Amino acid sequence: AALGVGGSGSGGAGGEAELFHGGGGALLLLGVPAGASIGLDGAEWAVGDAFRGFRGVPPRGVHLLTSCAEERAGGAGATRVAEFIALPPGSVDVRRWREAEECLGPRARLHSADADEDERLGAGVKRGDFDASTAAYERARWAEWRALTHLVTPTTLERAGVPLGARLHPGDPDVAPGGATEGAIVARIEDGFRTPVFAGTALRARRPVGASSGEPVSGAALTRLATDGRARLDAALAECYANNGTAMLAEVQLAFVLFLFGSGAAALAQWQASVALLCSCARDAAASRPELYAEFAQVLGAQLQHVPEDFFEDPLAAGSAVEGALAELLATLEDDAWRECSRGADSGHAPGGRNGAPHRALSRAGAQLCELAFERFGPRVGSGSGVLRARVDQLRASERAAAKADDAAALAEMLMGARGDGDRDGDDVPVIVSAAELEAAGIDVM
């Protein structure tokens, strides 16, 4: 779609100025040729001659800027280059198109001629000189982007070898990262571009802690990791994430947006491995880590809304590698044990002395994930056991039962004279109802 410029995008004249002066930043993109593709936070447009960038970009979190030249004659497409950026409140980031590279160039170096000019241009942006040629950041886009990346921080990017400002290139998926140690997360650097290469953090975590360093591994330890999902996840968190579950989920989010918006097969493989690990460990590990799995269910739910509906249908598609693991996760989340946890927590007697609130949050997040998966992908996910359809049917039946219970309680109050205007003399006044109303409220009629 073509990107318009100069419009409000936030409701009413001056909306962008309010958003900018309220703390938003601006991206001033110079020399972008008409027809080139510019993307921000997952949305992408073919731009026109007048386009000069974006204003009102939220200062929170990280943003993903992408660019590539217009598709060449004969269908040969240019390579999309991506870059994570952050815009402090009131800042202006100026970029220039590089014709030789067919993409946006990096930020100007300090004390360079371009840097001095950028200061003057930034002042012009703040005066409103570029309002007619810049597009306002869409608030709806911000909500979607935050759902996909709210855990990703500059530290997450640094750890993955793709820091803020690094220009990312998909690279050749068949070329191994030179000099990388097994299990490391590295980035291959070629001609000033970085290619994210996730060498398998989640896969490494299937081995005991210390195995990747060459330490001896006992057969008992290997057997335990093969059969105990909790031990396998504990090993992953200890060895790869310093026991920080949020860091692990942040990496799941990073890998997803990288593969979704054009940075290659390595990010896809990392996402598949991480999701498979978390899903396969859920039955043994979720009870002891309800906060982690509640957050994971929300993260995965947001991601599944951005994949095509045939994601799990093609054996060669990206989703086929996680279909079985996802069905296993859904089977765990619909298990009676979670409802028992919730009931015990509600009554003040959470099983095993666990805090009930995290388990209730996990139960809710799991239910929402089940419904989303079924509505988007149908019985394909979990079709072997029918667990997904059964879970959705169960949830809807529970909702109907709860509604009936509420109706029955209200009707009982009416029958006892507790409702209406009839209790003027302090006497209970009966209310006449039909047999159909009683049956609808779940009360048997003899």
Q: What is the pLDDT of residue 112?
A: 77
Planar angle of CA 200, 206, 208, nearest 5 degrees:
115
pLDDT of amino acid 257: 94
Summarised one tens digit per residue, pLDDT across range 257-294 is 998 887 667 788 888 889 999 998 998 898 889 999 99
Nearest one of 397, 396, 409 to 441, comparing CA atoms: 409
Taking CA atoms, 102 is separated from 120, 230, 351, in Å, by 26, 48, 60
Confidence band of 399 (pLDDT split at 50, 70, 90): low
Alpha-carbon span 34 to 48, nearest angstrom: 5
Residues counted in the chain = 446
Q: What is the pLDDT of residues 286-339, one digit of tens each?
A: 888 999 999 999 999 999 999 887 777 765 556 666 777 888 888 887 765 555
Least confident segment among 149-163, 261-275, 282-296, 380-394: 380-394
Q: Which residues contact 396 (CB under 8 A, 6 or more apart)?
A: none
d(CA 356, CA 339): 11
Least confident of 29-33, 184-188, 277-281, 369-373: 184-188
CB 337 within 8 A of CB 289: no
What's the token pair of residue 371? 């419904």
The better pLDDT of the pair 283, 417 is held by 283
Compute the distance between CA of residue 323 and CA of residue 190 in angstroms, rounded to an integer. 34
Region of poorest pLDDT, from 57-66, 285-294, 408-417 = 408-417
Integer Cα distance of 331 and 386 in angstroms: 9
User: Taken in order 350, 353, 357, 359, is the CA torsion positive or negative?
Assistant: negative
Assigned token pair, 381: 């996910």
Q: For helices 290-304 and 265-285, give the axis angle rounded to 10 degrees.
A: 140
**pLDDT recorded at residue 323:** 78
Q: Nearest Cα to 304, choosing from 351, 379, 372?
A: 372
Provide the pLDDT for residue 334.
72
The DSSP secondary structure of 269-313, one letter per residue, reads HHHHHHHHHHHHHHHHHTTT-HHHHHHHHHHHHHHHTTS-TTTTT
Which residue type is seen at 106?
P
- DSSP of 386-417: THHHHHHHHHHHHHHHHHHHHHHHHHHHHHTT
User: Strand pairing of 53-57 and 135-136?
Assistant: parallel
Q: Measure the CA–CA gap between 359 and 338, rounded to whole angstroms.
A: 7
Q: Which residues contact 358 (CB under 8 A, 6 or more apart)?
A: 290, 291, 294
List CB contacts of 247: < 8 A, sequence separation 6 or more.
156, 159, 241
Is residue 419 packed enough to be buried (19+ CB in 10 Å), middle (13-18) or exposed (0-12)? middle
| Backbone Cα Rg of the chain | 27
pTM of the model: 0.75
In CATH, which of 1.10.8.590, 1.10.10.10, 2.60.34.20, 3.40.50.300 is domain 15-144?
Answer: 2.60.34.20
Q: Which residues contact 349 (CB under 8 A, 6 or more apart)?
A: none
pLDDT of residue 402: 61
How is 139-175 classified by DSSP, letter by letter?
HHHHHHHHHHHTT--HHHHHHTT--TT-EE----TTS
Q: Which of 106-120, 191-205, 241-255 has the lowest mean pLDDT?
A: 191-205
Amino acid type, 419 = R
Instruction: Read off the pLDDT band of 400 (50, 70, 90).
Output: low
Q: Is the pLDDT of residue 423 over 70?
A: no
Alpha-carbon distance values, 198 to 15, 23, 164, 428 (Å) = 41, 35, 17, 73
Per-residue model confidence as pLDDT tens digits over 335-364: 655 555 544 444 444 444 445 788 888 888
- In terms of Cα–Cα distance, which of 136, 145, 95 is closest to 115? 95
Q: Could you please report the per-residue DSSP string of 336-358?
A: HHHHHHHHHHHTT--GGG--HHH
For residues 370 and 224, give the distance between their C-alpha atoms in angstroms, rounded to a whole number: 30
Q: What is the dihedral of CA 8, 10, 11, 12, to 10 degrees?
A: -40
CB 168 within 8 A of CB 255: no
What are the residue boundaries of the structural domains of the chain, listed by start? 15-144, 151-160+170-274, 286-413
Banded pLDDT at 40 (limits 50, 70, 90): very high
For residue 430, what pLDDT is reported? 55
Contact between 289 and 325 under an 8 Å Cβ cutoff? The reply is no
- Give me the chain's average pLDDT, please: 74
3-state secondary structure of 193: strand
